[in-house]
Amino acid sequence: MTHEHADHVDVLRLAGPGVPVYGPAASDLPRLKANEVTSGMEFTAAGFRVRAVGERHAFVHASRPDCANLGTL
């Protein structure tokens, strides 16, 4: 998962099947147990070597705080 905005993560769909989920360590999704990932971290997912990149989400609106935001290579 890249970040915790509702349009980018469906908590119920991800939590249901019991498959590993990887996401930013700073994510606040209490109903979803995710493997915490930080920028620059390398890990294996589904047999693929993955590296997390990024840091914070871009500014969207003054009433919305930013959040951790990662991409993967």
Residue 28 lies in a domain: yes
Q: How far apart are alpha carbons 2 and 53 in whole angstroms? A: 10
Where in the sequence is the domain holding 49, given as residue range(s)? Answer: 11-72
- Residue 1 counted as domain residue: no
Q: What is the pLDDT of residue 3?
A: 67
Range 58-67, long-range pairs (CB < 8 A, 24+ positions): 67/3, 67/4, 67/5, 67/24, 67/26, 67/27
Query: Is the residue at 38 inside a domain?
Result: yes
Reading the chain (73 residues) residue by residue, the pLDDT tens digits are 776 666 677 888 888 877 888 888 777 777 788 889 988 999 999 999 999 988 776 666 666 666 777 888 9
Domain count within the chain: 1
